Amino acid sequence: MRKKIPEHSIKEIARAKKALLAAKTLLEKDLLQDCVSRAYYSVLHAAKAALSMIGIESDTHRGVAKMFGLHLVKTGAIEKEFARILTAEKEDRELSDYEIGIEIKYDRAKQRVNEADKFIQRIEYYLGLNKK
């Protein structure tokens, strides 16, 4: 029998899905810097949902990435591809939020949104919320 999903995981995945919806809307409106930022936050909240499932919480972005890799990827619960997505999303979010003069191209923003969507679907499957 599958372990009950913690309320915190449910709230985090709901927040992830809202951030992804915002990212998709921003992409449609060609607001690419903000799109990339929202895509990252959707992945961050999904990662936090997965960590909460195993009783781990982190207050920092770096801590979430580290714990995700250590407790979910290295154990084989989640594939390495998803750690790479988390890292790429974080790097692009930092560029879009902090680098003045950087221009995010549409294709890159679309990739961030597509990968965020894939990440959330994988975490929902891990949580037992959907079928693969």
List, for residues 80-119, the tens digit of each pLDDT value: 999 999 999 999 999 998 988 889 999 999 999 999 999 9
DSSP 3-state of 34 = helix
Domain membership flag for residue 1: no
Q: How many CB atoms lie within 10 A of CB 121?
A: 14
What pTM was estimated for this model as a whole? Answer: 0.94
> Long-range contacts: 26-32, Cβ < 8 Å, 24+?
27/106, 27/109, 27/110, 27/113, 30/106, 32/96, 32/104, 32/105, 32/106, 32/108, 32/109
Domain membership flag for residue 72: yes
Element (H, E) at 123: helix 106-127
Domain membership flag for residue 26: yes
Domain that holds residue 122: 7-127
Domain membership flag for residue 132: no
Output the domain CATH number for residue 60.
Answer: 1.20.120.330
Q: How far apart are CA 106 and CA 128, in angstroms?
A: 33
Domain membership flag for residue 51: yes
Domain membership flag for residue 33: yes
Q: Which residue did the predictor score with more confidence, 32 or 1?
A: 32
What is the count of structural domains for the chain?
A: 1
Domain membership flag for residue 106: yes
Pull the structure tokens for residue 16.
């992830």
Domain membership flag for residue 105: yes
